[in-house]
Protein backbone atom coordinates (compact mmCIF):
# COMPACT_ATOMS: atom_id res chain seq x y z
CA UNK A 1 0.00 0.00 0.00
CA UNK A 2 1.36 3.39 -0.96
CA UNK A 3 1.63 6.23 1.54
CA UNK A 4 1.88 9.54 -0.36
CA UNK A 5 4.54 11.91 0.92
CA UNK A 6 4.36 15.70 0.90
CA UNK A 7 7.73 17.31 1.53
CA UNK A 8 9.40 20.70 1.39
CA UNK A 9 12.34 19.43 -0.66
CA UNK A 10 13.39 16.34 -2.62
CA UNK A 11 15.58 13.61 -1.19
CA UNK A 12 19.29 14.41 -1.58
CA UNK A 13 20.70 10.99 -0.73
CA UNK A 14 19.73 7.31 -0.71
CA UNK A 15 19.85 7.17 3.10
CA UNK A 16 18.16 9.17 5.83
CA UNK A 17 17.76 9.58 9.57
CA UNK A 18 14.05 9.94 10.24
CA UNK A 19 12.13 11.28 13.22
CA UNK A 20 8.35 10.99 13.58
CA UNK A 21 6.92 13.61 15.91
CA UNK A 22 4.33 16.34 16.28
CA UNK A 23 3.50 19.01 18.84
CA UNK A 24 6.15 19.63 21.50
CA UNK A 25 7.86 16.38 20.59
CA UNK A 26 8.80 17.87 17.22
CA UNK A 27 11.01 20.42 19.02
CA UNK A 28 12.67 17.65 21.03
CA UNK A 29 13.26 15.65 17.84
CA UNK A 30 14.85 18.72 16.27
CA UNK A 31 17.21 18.94 19.23
CA UNK A 32 18.51 15.44 18.41
CA UNK A 33 18.60 16.29 14.70
CA UNK A 34 20.76 19.34 15.44
CA UNK A 35 23.11 17.21 17.53
CA UNK A 36 23.53 14.75 14.65
CA UNK A 37 24.06 17.55 12.14
CA UNK A 38 26.80 18.98 14.37
CA UNK A 39 28.61 15.63 14.25
CA UNK A 40 28.40 15.47 10.44
CA UNK A 41 29.10 18.88 9.00
CA UNK A 42 29.37 17.43 5.46
CA UNK A 43 26.91 14.57 5.76
CA UNK A 44 25.95 12.21 2.95
CA UNK A 45 22.52 11.41 4.35
CA UNK A 46 19.26 13.29 4.81
CA UNK A 47 17.63 14.14 8.11
CA UNK A 48 13.82 14.09 8.00
CA UNK A 49 11.09 15.14 10.40
CA UNK A 50 7.81 13.43 9.59
CA UNK A 51 4.20 13.66 10.70
CA UNK A 52 0.81 12.60 9.44
CA UNK A 53 0.64 16.16 8.08
CA UNK A 54 3.65 18.23 6.99
CA UNK A 55 5.42 19.70 10.05
CA UNK A 56 5.41 23.47 10.46
CA UNK A 57 8.31 25.30 8.80
CA UNK A 58 11.42 25.44 10.93
CA UNK A 59 12.53 28.65 12.63
CA UNK A 60 15.06 30.59 10.56
CA UNK A 61 17.67 29.81 13.20
CA UNK A 62 17.47 26.11 12.24
CA UNK A 63 17.26 26.50 8.47
CA UNK A 64 20.99 25.79 8.09
CA UNK A 65 20.40 22.19 9.20
CA UNK A 66 18.73 21.34 5.89
CA UNK A 67 16.11 19.13 7.52
CA UNK A 68 13.53 17.64 5.18
CA UNK A 69 9.95 18.10 6.44
CA UNK A 70 7.56 15.36 5.33
CA UNK A 71 3.87 14.65 5.76
CA UNK A 72 2.93 11.00 5.26
CA UNK A 73 -0.69 10.07 4.55
CA UNK A 74 -1.79 6.91 6.34
CA UNK A 75 -5.09 6.56 4.47
CA UNK A 76 -6.70 4.97 7.53
CA UNK A 77 -4.41 1.97 7.28
CA UNK A 78 -3.83 1.76 11.04
CA UNK A 79 -7.43 2.41 12.12
CA UNK A 80 -7.92 -1.21 13.20
CA UNK A 81 -4.94 -1.24 15.55
CA UNK A 82 -5.00 -0.70 19.29
CA UNK A 83 -4.40 2.82 20.63
CA UNK A 84 -3.70 3.90 24.20
CA UNK A 85 -6.01 6.63 25.46
CA UNK A 86 -4.96 10.05 24.22
CA UNK A 87 -2.79 8.65 21.40
CA UNK A 88 -3.28 9.09 17.65
CA UNK A 89 -2.21 6.91 14.75
CA UNK A 90 1.08 8.82 14.53
CA UNK A 91 2.37 6.14 16.94
CA UNK A 92 2.18 3.71 14.00
CA UNK A 93 3.61 6.06 11.38
CA UNK A 94 7.07 4.47 11.44
CA UNK A 95 5.44 1.33 10.04
CA UNK A 96 4.64 3.38 6.93
CA UNK A 97 8.20 4.61 6.33
CA UNK A 98 9.45 1.72 4.12
CA UNK A 99 6.60 2.25 1.66
CA UNK A 100 6.37 6.03 1.93
CA UNK A 101 10.07 6.43 1.10
CA UNK A 102 10.30 3.61 -1.46
CA UNK A 103 11.30 6.04 -4.22
CA UNK A 104 13.64 8.07 -2.04
CA UNK A 105 15.74 5.94 0.28
CA UNK A 106 17.43 2.57 0.46
CA UNK A 107 18.24 2.85 4.16
CA UNK A 108 16.46 4.66 6.99
CA UNK A 109 17.58 5.04 10.58
CA UNK A 110 14.45 5.76 12.58
CA UNK A 111 14.91 7.57 15.93
CA UNK A 112 12.42 8.41 18.66
CA UNK A 113 12.18 12.05 19.74
CA UNK A 114 13.27 11.32 23.33
CA UNK A 115 16.85 10.68 22.24
CA UNK A 116 19.95 12.54 23.40
CA UNK A 117 22.93 12.26 21.04
CA UNK A 118 26.38 11.99 22.57
CA UNK A 119 28.55 10.75 19.68
CA UNK A 120 28.62 8.17 16.89
CA UNK A 121 29.39 7.69 13.19
CA UNK A 122 25.89 7.79 11.76
CA UNK A 123 27.11 7.69 8.15
CA UNK A 124 28.91 4.40 8.81
CA UNK A 125 25.90 2.95 10.62
CA UNK A 126 23.58 3.77 7.72
CA UNK A 127 25.80 1.76 5.37
CA UNK A 128 26.56 -1.15 7.67
CA UNK A 129 26.03 -4.78 6.68
CA UNK A 130 22.75 -6.10 8.08
CA UNK A 131 23.62 -9.66 7.06
CA UNK A 132 20.54 -10.09 4.92
CA UNK A 133 18.06 -8.79 7.50
CA UNK A 134 15.51 -6.06 6.87
CA UNK A 135 15.99 -4.56 10.32
CA UNK A 136 18.74 -3.95 12.86
CA UNK A 137 17.96 -2.79 16.38
CA UNK A 138 19.07 -2.96 20.02
CA UNK A 139 17.60 -5.42 22.46
CA UNK A 140 15.03 -4.03 24.82
CA UNK A 141 16.62 -3.36 28.20
CA UNK A 142 14.40 -6.07 29.72
CA UNK A 143 16.70 -8.61 28.00
CA UNK A 144 20.09 -6.98 28.59
CA UNK A 145 20.78 -8.96 31.75
CA UNK A 146 18.26 -11.77 31.17
CA UNK A 147 18.42 -12.51 27.42
CA UNK A 148 16.06 -15.49 27.64
CA UNK A 149 13.25 -13.57 29.33
CA UNK A 150 9.91 -14.09 27.60
CA UNK A 151 8.22 -10.75 26.86
CA UNK A 152 4.74 -10.28 28.25
CA UNK A 153 3.34 -9.62 24.77
CA UNK A 154 4.70 -12.94 23.54
CA UNK A 155 3.02 -14.70 26.46
CA UNK A 156 -0.31 -13.07 25.61
CA UNK A 157 -0.01 -14.17 21.99
CA UNK A 158 1.13 -17.67 22.88
CA UNK A 159 4.56 -17.13 21.32
CA UNK A 160 7.79 -18.66 22.65
CA UNK A 161 10.64 -16.59 24.08
CA UNK A 162 12.78 -14.85 21.46
CA UNK A 163 15.14 -11.88 21.25
CA UNK A 164 13.08 -8.71 21.64
CA UNK A 165 14.18 -5.27 20.45
CA UNK A 166 13.34 -1.72 21.46
CA UNK A 167 11.78 0.10 18.50
CA UNK A 168 13.02 3.57 19.50
CA UNK A 169 16.03 3.10 17.21
CA UNK A 170 15.58 1.01 14.06
CA UNK A 171 17.92 0.70 11.11
CA UNK A 172 15.73 -0.33 8.16
CA UNK A 173 16.75 -1.79 4.83
CA UNK A 174 13.70 -0.57 2.90
CA UNK A 175 13.79 -2.92 -0.13
CA UNK A 176 14.26 -5.95 2.14
CA UNK A 177 11.49 -4.72 4.44
CA UNK A 178 9.04 -4.40 1.56
CA UNK A 179 10.09 -7.75 0.06
CA UNK A 180 9.29 -9.42 3.39
CA UNK A 181 5.94 -7.54 3.63
CA UNK A 182 6.75 -6.70 7.26
CA UNK A 183 4.29 -3.82 7.55
CA UNK A 184 1.42 -5.85 6.06
CA UNK A 185 2.16 -8.72 8.43
CA UNK A 186 2.36 -6.42 11.45
CA UNK A 187 -0.93 -4.70 10.63
CA UNK A 188 -2.69 -8.01 10.02
CA UNK A 189 -1.44 -9.40 13.33
CA UNK A 190 -2.48 -6.26 15.18
CA UNK A 191 -5.97 -6.26 13.71
CA UNK A 192 -6.51 -9.94 14.46
CA UNK A 193 -5.25 -9.61 18.06
CA UNK A 194 -6.35 -6.11 18.98
CA UNK A 195 -7.73 -7.13 22.39
CA UNK A 196 -4.55 -9.02 23.30
CA UNK A 197 -2.08 -6.35 22.26
CA UNK A 198 -0.23 -4.06 24.65
CA UNK A 199 1.56 -0.90 23.60
CA UNK A 200 1.94 -0.34 19.89
CA UNK A 201 4.12 -1.22 16.90
CA UNK A 202 7.12 -2.38 18.93
CA UNK A 203 5.18 -5.46 19.99
CA UNK A 204 3.73 -5.98 16.53
CA UNK A 205 7.15 -5.98 14.87
CA UNK A 206 8.72 -8.24 17.47
CA UNK A 207 5.86 -10.70 17.24
CA UNK A 208 6.08 -10.80 13.44
CA UNK A 209 9.87 -11.09 13.24
CA UNK A 210 10.42 -13.44 16.20
CA UNK A 211 14.17 -12.82 16.35
CA UNK A 212 14.67 -12.44 12.58
CA UNK A 213 16.59 -9.18 12.90
CA UNK A 214 20.21 -8.05 13.22
CA UNK A 215 21.41 -6.86 16.60
CA UNK A 216 23.02 -3.45 17.15
CA UNK A 217 25.43 -2.59 19.93
CA UNK A 218 23.50 -1.04 22.86
CA UNK A 219 25.54 2.13 22.37
CA UNK A 220 23.01 2.99 19.65
CA UNK A 221 20.02 2.81 21.99
CA UNK A 222 21.17 3.05 25.58
CA UNK A 223 17.86 2.87 27.41
CA UNK A 224 18.34 5.18 30.36
CA UNK A 225 16.80 3.60 33.46
CA UNK A 226 17.56 3.06 37.12
CA UNK A 227 19.35 -0.12 36.08
CA UNK A 228 21.62 1.54 33.49
CA UNK A 229 22.11 5.23 34.31
CA UNK A 230 25.40 4.90 36.21
CA UNK A 231 26.84 2.34 33.80
CA UNK A 232 26.26 4.75 30.93
CA UNK A 233 29.10 6.94 32.19
CA UNK A 234 31.51 4.04 31.79
CA UNK A 235 30.19 2.64 28.51
CA UNK A 236 29.94 6.00 26.74
CA UNK A 237 26.86 5.34 24.56
CA UNK A 238 26.23 7.13 21.29
CA UNK A 239 22.51 7.61 21.94
CA UNK A 240 20.75 7.91 25.28
CA UNK A 241 17.07 6.97 25.09
CA UNK A 242 14.78 8.22 27.85
CA UNK A 243 12.22 5.42 27.80
CA UNK A 244 9.20 5.55 30.05
CA UNK A 245 7.55 8.63 31.60
CA UNK A 246 10.69 10.31 32.95
CA UNK A 247 11.82 12.85 30.35
CA UNK A 248 14.54 15.48 30.82
CA UNK A 249 12.20 18.32 29.85
CA UNK A 250 9.40 17.45 32.25
CA UNK A 251 10.47 15.06 35.01
CA UNK A 252 10.39 16.60 38.45
CA UNK A 253 11.73 13.71 40.49
CA UNK A 254 15.38 14.70 40.24
CA UNK A 255 16.40 11.28 38.92
CA UNK A 256 17.92 12.51 35.65
CA UNK A 257 21.15 14.53 35.50
CA UNK A 258 20.53 18.25 35.17
CA UNK A 259 22.70 18.50 32.05
CA UNK A 260 19.95 16.92 29.94
CA UNK A 261 17.24 19.32 31.09
CA UNK A 262 19.59 22.26 30.63
CA UNK A 263 20.46 21.22 27.07
CA UNK A 264 16.81 20.98 26.05
CA UNK A 265 16.01 24.25 27.80
CA UNK A 266 18.77 26.12 25.96
CA UNK A 267 17.67 24.67 22.62
CA UNK A 268 13.97 25.45 22.94
CA UNK A 269 14.69 28.91 24.31
CA UNK A 270 17.06 29.73 21.45
CA UNK A 271 14.88 28.44 18.62
CA UNK A 272 11.28 28.44 19.87
CA UNK A 273 11.26 31.24 22.43
CA UNK A 274 10.30 29.00 25.32
CA UNK A 275 11.91 26.65 27.81
CA UNK A 276 10.67 23.51 29.54
CA UNK A 277 9.22 24.20 32.96
CA UNK A 278 12.16 24.26 35.38
CA UNK A 279 10.06 24.27 38.55
CA UNK A 280 11.08 21.39 40.73
CA UNK A 281 14.03 20.33 38.56
CA UNK A 282 16.85 19.60 40.98
CA UNK A 283 19.48 16.99 41.81
CA UNK A 284 17.98 13.93 43.46
CA UNK A 285 18.09 13.74 47.24
CA UNK A 286 16.05 10.56 47.35
CA UNK A 287 18.55 8.41 49.20
CA UNK A 288 16.50 5.23 48.95
CA UNK A 289 16.13 5.58 45.17
CA UNK A 290 19.85 6.30 44.75
CA UNK A 291 20.83 3.31 46.88
CA UNK A 292 18.54 0.98 44.92
CA UNK A 293 19.90 2.26 41.62
CA UNK A 294 23.52 1.78 42.70
CA UNK A 295 22.81 -1.65 44.20
CA UNK A 296 20.90 -2.88 41.14
CA UNK A 297 23.75 -1.95 38.82
CA UNK A 298 26.39 -3.37 41.16
CA UNK A 299 24.63 -6.73 41.17
CA UNK A 300 24.28 -6.78 37.38
CA UNK A 301 27.84 -5.79 36.41
CA UNK A 302 28.83 -9.32 35.42
CA UNK A 303 25.78 -9.90 33.25
CA UNK A 304 26.11 -6.47 31.65
CA UNK A 305 29.77 -7.18 30.81
CA UNK A 306 28.70 -10.50 29.25
CA UNK A 307 26.17 -8.63 27.13
CA UNK A 308 28.64 -5.95 26.01
CA UNK A 309 31.36 -8.54 25.31
CA UNK A 310 29.23 -9.96 22.49
CA UNK A 311 30.24 -6.95 20.38
CA UNK A 312 33.68 -5.98 19.07
CA UNK A 313 32.71 -2.30 18.86
CA UNK A 314 29.76 0.01 18.37
CA UNK A 315 29.63 -0.71 14.62
CA UNK A 316 29.70 -4.49 15.08
CA UNK A 317 26.30 -5.84 14.02
CA UNK A 318 25.44 -9.39 14.98
CA UNK A 319 24.04 -11.26 12.01
CA UNK A 320 21.11 -12.96 13.69
CA UNK A 321 19.46 -11.94 16.94
CA UNK A 322 17.95 -15.39 17.27
CA UNK A 323 21.40 -16.98 17.64
CATH code of the domain containing 68: 3.90.550.10
Q: Given this model, what pLDDT does residue 282 score?
A: 59
Q: Could you give phi then psi for residue 182, rounded to 5 degrees?
A: -65, -40
Is residue 261 in a domain? no
Q: Given this model, what pLDDT does residue 252 score?
A: 64
Q: Given this model, what pLDDT does residue 251 score?
A: 67
Give the integer Cα–Cα distance in Å for 218 and 198: 24
Count up the domains in the chain and report the number. Answer: 1
For the chain, which ranges sit under pLDDT 70? 1, 85-86, 251-254, 275-286, 321-323
Q: Given this model, what pLDDT does residue 23 score?
A: 86
Give the integer Cα–Cα distance in Å for 268 and 165: 31
Quote the domain boundaries for residue 132: 5-219
Global confidence as pTM: 0.93
Q: Given this model, what pLDDT does residue 62 score?
A: 97
Q: Given this model, what pLDDT does residue 281 score?
A: 57
Give the integer Cα–Cα distance in Å for 300 and 144: 10
Is residue 242 in a domain? no
* Sign of torsion over alpha carbons 58, 240, 316, 96: negative
Q: Given this model, what pLDDT does residue 322 score?
A: 46
Is residue 276 in a domain? no
Is residue 302 in a domain? no
CB 143 within 8 A of CB 163: yes
Q: What is the pLDDT of residues 109-143, one digit of tens each?
A: 999 999 999 999 999 999 999 999 999 999 999 99
Give the integer Cα–Cα distance in Å for 99 and 274: 36
Give the integer Cα–Cα distance in Å for 5 and 119: 30
Is residue 19 in a domain? yes
Helix (H, G, I), strand (E, B) or coil at 310: coil
Is residue 17 in a domain? yes
Q: Given this model, what pLDDT does residue 323 score?
A: 44
Amino acid sequence: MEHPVTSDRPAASDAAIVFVADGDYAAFALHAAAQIAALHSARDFDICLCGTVPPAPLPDSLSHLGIRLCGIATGGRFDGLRLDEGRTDIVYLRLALPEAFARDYRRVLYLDADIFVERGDFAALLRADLHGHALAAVRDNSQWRTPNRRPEQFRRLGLPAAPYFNAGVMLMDLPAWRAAAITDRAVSLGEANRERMIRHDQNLLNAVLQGDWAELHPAWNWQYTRASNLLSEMVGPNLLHFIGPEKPWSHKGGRLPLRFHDAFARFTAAHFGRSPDAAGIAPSKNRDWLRKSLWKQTLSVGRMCDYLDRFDGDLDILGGAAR
